[in-house]
Amino acid sequence: MLVSLPLAYLILMAAAATFVFSFAMAKWIPGRKGKIVFPAVSVACCLGMVLVGQLQYQHWSPQHMLVLYSFGWVGLTVGLFPSRKLMHQYAEEINRGEKREKYDVPARYTVFAVFSVVVMSFVAYALSQ
């Protein structure tokens, strides 16, 4: 269904997902590096997904991979939402030079993030058929 959209719309959808993720990460994790690193990593992940889709046995089209990237990235943003205060706190400590041996993250945050990405990936797969 979504794969039948013109490629420009799918690229716009991927760019919007990248913007939302990068904006959220820059807001939740203070520091100047994040404003450069998160968009760069997002674009690299998008290009990597398109490349991997081409190299697979099934030869997923770039349209399929852009839909999967967009939904996966939005799922990751939603999944990281509950842990935003904890990420902010840890990032401020690191910026002040304080290092911990272990950064504890409650299991419910991890489970919610994984669940959110998996559900959004299934939705992306269903909408791209």
Residues in the chain where the model's pLDDT stays below 70: none
For position 7, what pLDDT does the model report? Answer: 93
How long, in residues, is the chain?
129
Q: Is 125 helix (H, G, I), strand (E, B) or coil?
A: helix
For position 33, what pLDDT does the model report? Answer: 82
Q: What is the model's pTM?
A: 0.90
Burial class (CB in 10 A: 0-12, 13-18, 19+), 71: buried
For residue range 2-34, what is the model confidence (pLDDT) as tens digits?
Answer: 999 999 999 999 999 999 999 999 999 988 888
Instruction: For residues 44 and 42, give the distance between their C-alpha atoms in angstroms, rounded to a whole number.
Output: 5
